[in-house]
Amino acid sequence: MGRFRGVLLASDFDNTLIYTEEALRSGAAVPELPPENRAALEYFMAEGGRFTVATGRALAAFLRYAGNIPMNVPAVVCNGAALYDFEKQEYLEVAMLDEAARQRGQAVLNCFPAVAVEAYHIDNVIHAVQPNEITRQHEHLTKVSVTEAPTLLDVPLPLGKLLFEADHPTLEAVRDYLTNQGWSEDYELIFSGQTLLEMTAKGANKGGMIRRLADRLGISMEHVYCAGDEANDIPMLRIAAEGFAPANCVPAVRESGATIVPHARDGALAAVVVHLEERYPG
């Protein structure tokens, strides 16, 4: 049967499953999955558990890494805007932005010329308008080159996510601008890093898509566990039976009540599996 049969574990990718922050800042290569994480996840799945990744990355930006991650159920991509089955190589569920998102995003760019935006198309193409240094760092990290467009209105639909890129104070001003225009009620606006502000359809977040995945698998939410380090992980940490966060997590995640485990570079997911062994002694 397996001690973890009927249990779902979902982990953020960057800086939770693999510590990528140093690669982002230095331009170094993205490190491999820590061996202790690999061993723990393979053991978890061998004992009947279901493991997946829930990432803010577009599918195109996660594809080259997915084959090296031990997963046995579909993954959440685009910060909860889509659920993708790597075995079938197809989207199972999507939550696309409305057409007004392009006009509203372009209004942001017109008001904030220092801001760049990446637009994630469902066909795995990442478009960029007003690309800046942060965009280039992101390209290095994801190993996916953006396709530049003169304006967001020139970017084809459908879009799963807009990712605004600038320094944090500027992005806070962008968030306030969207709120003051009355547009924030139509979208999820959440930071996935100090220089990254995500915009997805209302309800399209990691927590919502993990619920859908659990329902597809016939797993009760009382047996769903999640791990993440950033503000965009909080929706799934809150809906989990227990949320976990590596020691390198941002203050908002720590304050959310997540159980703190070792730093991402020190095998955070291996520690999570140890916690689950105590919950499910077999």
Instruction: Please tell me the distance from the alpha carbon of residue 125 to that of residue 181, in angstroms, as a whole number.
Output: 29
**Rounded to 5°, angle at Cα 82 from 239 and 268:** 50
Instruction: Please tell me the distance from the alpha carbon of residue 239 to that of residue 5, in angstroms, as a whole number.
Output: 20
The verdict on 115 and 247 lying in the same domain is: no
Instruction: Please tell me the distance from the alpha carbon of residue 228 to that of residue 55, in angstroms, as a whole number.
Output: 9
The verdict on 139 and 218 lying in the same domain is: no
Residue 24 binned pLDDT confidence (cut-offs 50, 70, 90) = confident
- Give the residue from 201, 228, 245 where a domain finishes: 201
Asked if the structure places residue 2 within a domain, the reply is: no
**Total length of the chain:** 282
Instruction: Please tell me the distance from the alpha carbon of residue 230 to that of residue 199, in angstroms, as a whole number.
Output: 15
- Mark residue 278 as left, alpha or beta (left: phi above 0; alpha: psi -120 to 50; beta: remaining): alpha
pLDDT digits (tens, 9 = 90+) for 199-248: 999 999 999 999 999 999 999 999 999 999 999 999 999 999 999 999 99
The verdict on 183 and 209 lying in the same domain is: no
The verdict on 55 and 139 lying in the same domain is: no
Please report how many Cα atoms fall inside a 13 Å half-sphere around the Cα of residue 111, on the Cβ side: 16
Query: Which residues span the domain enclosing 194?
Result: 100-201
Cβ within 8 Å of residue 133, ≥6 positions away:
none
Write down the pLDDT at residue 1: 67
Listed residue (270, 250, 247) closest to 259, CA to CA = 247
| Ranges assigned E (strand) in 122-184 | 126-129, 147-148, 159-165
The verdict on 88 and 48 lying in the same domain is: yes
The gap from C-alpha 118 to its chain's centroid, in whole angstroms, comes to 15
What's the CATH code of the domain at 53? 3.40.50.1000
- Give the residue from 167, 201, 235 where a domain finishes: 201
pLDDT digits (tens, 9 = 90+) for 266-281: 999 999 999 999 999 9
Q: 133-142 vs 59-66: helix axis angle to the nearest 10?
A: 30
Residue 53 binned pLDDT confidence (cut-offs 50, 70, 90) = very high
One-character DSSP codes across 209-273: HHHHHHHHHT--GGGEEEE--SGGGHHHHHHSSEEEEETT--HHHHHTTPEEES-GGG-HHHHHH
The verdict on 131 and 166 lying in the same domain is: yes
Q: Give the tokens for residue 162.
A: 């807009």
Residue 57 binned pLDDT confidence (cut-offs 50, 70, 90) = very high
> If you average pLDDT over residues 116-121, what whole number do you get?
95
User: What's the structural domain count of the chain?
Assistant: 2
Asked if the structure places residue 43 within a domain, the reply is: yes
Instruction: Please tell me the distance from the alpha carbon of residue 201 to that of residue 185, in angstroms, as a whole number.
Output: 10
- Give the residue from 201, 216, 232 where a domain finishes: 201
| Prior bond of 158 cis (ω within 30°) | yes
Asked if the structure places residue 226 within a domain, the reply is: yes
Can you give the pTM of this predicted structure? Answer: 0.92
The verdict on 81 and 116 lying in the same domain is: no
The verdict on 118 and 84 lying in the same domain is: no
Asked if the structure places residue 3 within a domain, the reply is: no
